Amino acid sequence: MSVNESSYYESLDMFLSYIRLNKNYSVNTTEAYSRDINYFIDFLIEKKLSFEDITPRVMREFSVYLSTKFSNPFSPSSVRRILSSIKSFSKFLYKNSYITKNFGNFVVYPKLPEKLPKFIDEERIITTLNELEKNLDKTPTNVRDLTILYAFYLTGMRISEVTSLKLQDIDLSSKVIKIKGKGGKSRVVPIHPKLEDKVNEYMKYRGVMLTKKTSLFFVGESRNGGLSIRQMRNIIYKYTSLMGSRLSPHGLRHSFATHILDNGADIRVVQELLGHSSISTTQRYTHTSLKRLRNIYKKAHPHA
């Protein structure tokens, strides 16, 4: 082993000891850092480069190396993870004066391929909601949770919007919900008859669930008298798991958008309902539904 190679591994050992003992990282996490940084050390040895020789170009070449060198190349997300480990390693070396320039600043993360939104089939979600209606005991918590589920699916609201929803935001006389969205932008969405029923039912129980005086619509045991975002998310996970596809609250928002587009809603209307500032964000949902694609194909193709 040459002197330069020895210095690489001495530096790595110091870093691993630091994150294990000072940062209390687990053995598994420490080993993951070791694997990631060893890829970089192997690359530097192959190129006969010291830490001081590293430039932005060297970091770009390393990203290409990870994506092409191996028989099973790393995915963009794995490349990002490895580069993140190297940034932490470089920061440690620089802060402790083992190197004179922080080569971690030269890291440029590869873009991740855009994932299409995940959603639940319309028939499955309706069937499950109907089964929940029949089988759930009418406890205050169950009634509240089912109302939350309907609120997400029938309005397309974001989790922050549902969590912060206030009593005065729901206007049953006009059958609308006033939503304060991202960036303080307000919008109005209609209340579906089914959601109206659930809101009326929930209001019979809301009073007995209050732990403190609050204007929040959905109440719970958080310090503000409502539900935290984590609690709200866990409620959605619990019930969407019964639908055969554990979805986040955002997944229900995706389902809302996809299903109303499938049923003929104009994309500009969907944009307004979702509170998107750009139509390009809403257009992502036009690519998600096989049902929609099949219907268009059948209508358009002469031999379909």
**Catalytic residue IDs:** 158, 182, 250, 253, 276, 285
Q: Are 101 and 122 in contact (CB under 8 A)?
A: no
DSSP letters of 230-292?
A: HHHHHHHHHHHHTTTS---HHHHHHHHHHHHHHTT--HHHHHHHHT-SSHHHHHGGGGS-HHH
**Which residues 6+ apart lie within 8 Å of 271 measured at CB?**
279, 281, 282
Gyration radius of the chain over CA positions? 26
